[in-house]
A and B are shown apart, each in its own frame.
Chain A
Amino acid sequence: MLAQAGDEADWIRQSLANIALATQERDLYIFMGLAPRHLGKADLALSAKDLAAADAACPGWSPEGWSIDGAARILALLAAPRNRAFAERFKDLRRTADVAELIALYRGLPLYPEPDSLHFEVGEGLRSNIKAVFESIAHRNPFPRDHFDDHRWNHMILKALFVESRLTPILGLEARANPELARILVDYAEERIAAGRPVPQDLWIPLKPFRDDRAVAAILPREEAVQ
């Protein structure tokens, strides 16, 4: 990222150093606002080596599709001193965030300390009506796979279907499949069929492990038939 930042690399280094030493939040707020002004909003340039390093750091994690300003914002949040609970600072930033900031904040989830303190914050993001914000948690992000309980996992899958978001970029789709989700998905598929609406093409993926279940068996061939 620093190479991509060109002449602004020094600005990033200096700002992060200031944020790390700051006794109040102002420097962090200002950095969050200035990041796109200094760095632009280009997609983060990632080499195969970078992607491999990301996957090694956290299996399945890929920063593909991140923007350079978003990556810088996450770095800044991670650079802030540990003088407040991480979740408290996250909330403070989240409640005044613009769309791009929300996306960046949630994309950074796999990198944050104290992940179990962030469940409320993650819930607020999942409830967002802004599809890109929802997808910043759901897609290419290992946090749900690693930290969600079944209830939250299942509702994330359902919401993805409901807002016409793809399931395939969700990590852990087969590993986290569970009987309750299978039951809900069968109901959902039947509801769609009854309404004469198309059944989302990804729906069969989390159903596959339960193909021996009677209700699943009844619906699965119809789903697979349309593939």
Chain B
Amino acid sequence: MMLIDPHAHMISRTTDDYQAMADAGIVALIEPAFWLGQPRTFVGTYVDYLSTIVGWERFRAGQFGIRHYCTVGLNSKEANNEELAEGVMDWLPRFALKEGVVAIGEIGYDEQTALEDKYFRLQLELASELKLPVMIHTPHRDKKRGTSRSMDVCEEHGLDPGMVIVDHNNEETVAETLQRGFWAGFSIYPSTKMGNARMVEILRQYGGDRIIVDSACDWGISDCLGVAKTAQLALERGIPKETVRMVCYQNALDAYGQSGQMKEDDWLEPPTIDQRTLFEGNSILRGGREPHIETPSDRLLKNLLIE
């Protein structure tokens, strides 16, 4: 089964991870702009980070036959540094139309401060103006209220819920997110976010409509095979194959494809210019062949549970 990981901070991951993801069936992934584990103190380092995720990281993924997309935005944590935030906001429009930018994100709230609110709203306006989807990071703390508030603010700014992916949902937030018409992302991330056994139960209860599974793997203790392991576990536990295909592939493509920057042809029938440049040195996707997916590796099948 072809898989998409629509939330993966690959800048923090090794080539082993890329290889494992490719072997597990990941054909495309999305790298949301976020913080790096510690705050940046210069606007320039933020600009170079954005430049890296539209450039070098894209190329790196291509070497493993994986199509790399990204979202650009000012994250909620660094929105609290006003001087940095103002500088980043000046540069953002220049990155929003780069090739492979599929959304403004991940944006939203962390501690729900006034500055976070200010820059969240400014970026929602930017997304509306550029007709780009939005990826929302919902807070770890005061999560339920923070999630509701994020959706309130989107509605207040006139955004179509169908253009907004609310990420990091859990059992407590999913009903409201779906009921209000937003896409519901789930990050299979050990300890702090979702486990995959819990995820399977959510799929059993809600089906696959508008639900999106991602790994959110980053520089912390996390698992780049979050999507693949969830797909495997869901199939083993009797979730219909079509539901698994929707939440681990199709829904992410439909949601972020609204940017016009992400199409199935990108990995099934890549333009010749991309074959020459982005997939250079890699034979997996050349010639528009069906991606070659190896039998599941030990890395996938051992430790299948993410808790």
Contacts and interface: CB of A to CB of B under 8 A. Distances in A.
B273 A43 contact: yes
B99 A96 contact: no
A37 B272 CA distance: 16
B287 interface: no
A98 interface: yes
B97 A41 contact: no
A95 B276 contact: no
A100 B99 contact: yes
A209 interface: no
Contacts of B48: 95
Nearest to B91: A96
Contacts of B47: 95-96
A170 B265 CA distance: 33
Contacts of A129: 56, 59
A42 interface: yes
A98 B276 contact: no
Contact of A131 (B93, B95, B281): B281
Nearest to B272: A43
Interface of A: 29-30, 33-34, 36-37, 40-43, 65, 67, 70, 95-103, 129-132
Contacts of B271: 40-42
A130 B55 contact: yes
Contacts of A131: 280-281
Contact of A34 (B56, B94, B97, B278): B97
B54 interface: yes
A98 B98 contact: yes
B51 A33 contact: no
Interface string B87-111: 0000101111111100000000000
Contacts of A100: 99, 273, 277
A132 B260 contact: no
B56 A96 contact: no
B58 interface: yes
B274 interface: yes
28 contacts: A29-B94, A33-B96, A33-B98, A37-B97, A41-B271, A42-B271, A42-B273, A43-B272, A67-B273, A95-B48, A96-B47, A96-B91, A96-B95, A97-B51, A98-B54, A98-B55, A98-B58, A98-B98, A98-B100, A99-B55, A99-B59, A100-B99, A101-B99, A103-B277, A129-B56, A130-B55, A130-B59, A131-B280
Interface centre among B59, B260, B273, B280 (most CB of A within 10 A): B273
Interface residues on B, range: 20 to 34
Nearest to A68: B273
A95 B51 contact: yes
A140 to B, nearest CB: 13
Given A30-B97, A42-B271, A129-B56, A99 B278 contact: yes
A197 B124 CA distance: 55
A42 B273 CA distance: 7
Contacts of B273: 41-43, 67, 70, 100
A171 to B, nearest CB: 19
Given A37-B97, A97-B51, 18 more contacts: A40-B271, A41-B273, A67-B273, A95-B47, A95-B48, A95-B51, A96-B91, A96-B94, A96-B95, A98-B98, A98-B100, A99-B54, A99-B277, A100-B99, A103-B277, A129-B56, A130-B59, A132-B276
Contacts of B100: 98
A99 B276 contact: no
Contacts of B277: 99-100, 103, 132
A132 B280 CA distance: 8
Contacts of B98: 33, 96, 98, 101
A156 to B, nearest CB: 18
A37 B100 CA distance: 11
Contacts of A98: 54-55, 58, 98-100
